[in-house]
Amino acid sequence: MIATLVRFPPNRMSLCSQKKNKKKNINENKTWKQRRLESQERRNGLSFPKPKSTPLLIHHRPHPKTKLEALEQVVKDLEASVEKGIKIDPEIYASLLETCYRFQAILHGIRVHRLIPTSLLHKNVGISSKLLRLYASCGYLDDAHDLFDQMAKRDTSAFPWNSLISGYAQVGHYDEAIALYFQMVEEGVEADLFTFPRVLKVCAGIGSVQVGEEVHRHAIRAGFAADGFILNALVDMYSKCGDIVKARKVFDKMPHRDPVSWNSMLTAYVHHGLEVQAMNIFRQMLLEGCEPDSVSISTVLTGVSSLGLGVQIHGWVISQGHEWNLSIANSLIMMYSNHGRLEKARWVFNLMPERDVVSWNSIISAHCKRREALAFFEQMEGAGVQPDKITFVSILSACAYLGLLKDGERLFALMCGKYKIKPIMEHYGCMVNLYGRAGLIKKAYSIIVDGIGTEAAGVLDLEVYYVLICNFCSKKKKKKK
């Protein structure tokens, strides 16, 4: 466990093991256990100096069950060492912070942070940068920015800037992320290969093609104009900002296109409803010998408006042996259900060797106007698959459409109780629809006041539901007449 986190210098045995004069013909006929025993006997006959004790071995408990348990043991050993006044090598702090980031173990990272001397944190840019990255990636942006502001030499590397920009982009704070990038430019920090894909993603989030073009010019001046990662990010940025022509220009100028490049352009056309262009890109992809992956095929299936074309793609999928791919099968279910071919959707679903929550959501959504939706939900529970928010939107929608009041109330209670899912606007909308269709206007109103109102819903959403209730009230009056 410890050997993976701390590096030791080579000893005499490790050097001796590199000698080439071995009798291979004898060793080949011996088992691994025999060779190990003989090696141990030879080792016992030699005299080696004992290795120096490492602070992290003080409370070593062997054979942790999981990697997180191993990390917990190491952090506890580190805490005990610091408490005893043992000086810790800075490399150990850096290694542990790297491990915490890899496992997204923020609580362990906070404990390590408390042990790092303040003076070391201020002067060691490597340690402070790794700690900043951990905080930013786990959503602790205030702590990350505080650490960033305290860094004495943050202009020597783009690493801390990249980490903080990624952190803001990850939670959708695009304005803060782009402001940080331009601050980076003003302070003369040289952007690296990892900066531009992150910033271009931010530009896509903002939806500003002007800002994206400026960042594009920066990438060209920095000498990264031909980098594949940046070119893929540019295609994605331009398409999401609505400039499909520039996205295609960047795509056409690519010296080498990988599956990500093709998928970016394919997704761009599908997103803009350009089915013909999407299919042309898919055909060009095949002609140029690039094997479509599950993302490519799922994207095409999502974008086809013609059932005949979808059936052709399904046939090609079978010929290539991709029909058992989980994401492709899920896309086929959605494609057939969108065209009203529920029997084909069920056929694909029943042949699936494994099903995830998306599979069940797709088949339930396909039957949201039929009683079969409830049967599929029961099968889902029986299969031990945990339903999510989308599952309950579909099943509650089915109950509302079919007028299944008791089932709808039972499932809403099941969602909040057993599955601990916090209702969202769509769930409340289904319940308002359910009560409204049943003529229970007071219950529909109470859902808005007690549920949606306390969830601090937007004024527009509240108005929509109030209008919905008014419509139900007017229909009820007409029936009485």
Mean pLDDT by 10 residues, the chain (481 residues): 37 43 44 50 42 45 76 94 94 96 96 95 92 96 95 89 96 96 95 96 96 97 93 96 96 93 94 92 93 93 89 93 93 95 96 96 96 97 97 97 96 96 91 88 79 50 55 54 51
Of 306, 301, 372, the residue nearest 339 (C-alpha): 306
Q: What is the DSSP letter of 290?
A: P
The ranges assigned to domains in the chain are 1-8+54-153, 423-481
The angle at the Cα of 408, spanning 403 to 412, to the nearest 5 degrees, equals 155
Res 306: pLDDT: 87
Distances (CA, A) of 321 to 58, 281, 324, 328, 392: 55, 21, 7, 11, 33
Residue type at position 119: S
Residue type at position 454: T
Distances (CA, A) of 160 to 144, 179, 181, 255: 9, 15, 11, 31
Rounded Cα gap, residues 76 and 60, in angstroms: 9
Rounded Cα gap, residues 164 and 474, in angstroms: 54
Are 13 and 43 in contact by the 8 Å Cβ rule? The answer is: yes
Rounded Cα gap, residues 468 and 456, in angstroms: 19
Rounded Cα gap, residues 245 and 235, in angstroms: 10
Query: 79, exposed or middle or buried, with CB in 10 Å at 0-12, 13-18, 19+?
Result: middle
Tokens describing residue 91:
């490399």
Residue type at position 160: P
Res 445: pLDDT: 79
Residue 50 region, left (φ>0) first, then alpha (ψ -120 to 50), else beta? beta
Res 20: pLDDT: 42
Rounded Cα gap, residues 401 and 119, in angstroms: 65
Distance of CA 63 to the CA centre of its chain: 31
In the block, which residue shows the tokens 């999510």?
388
Res 63: pLDDT: 64
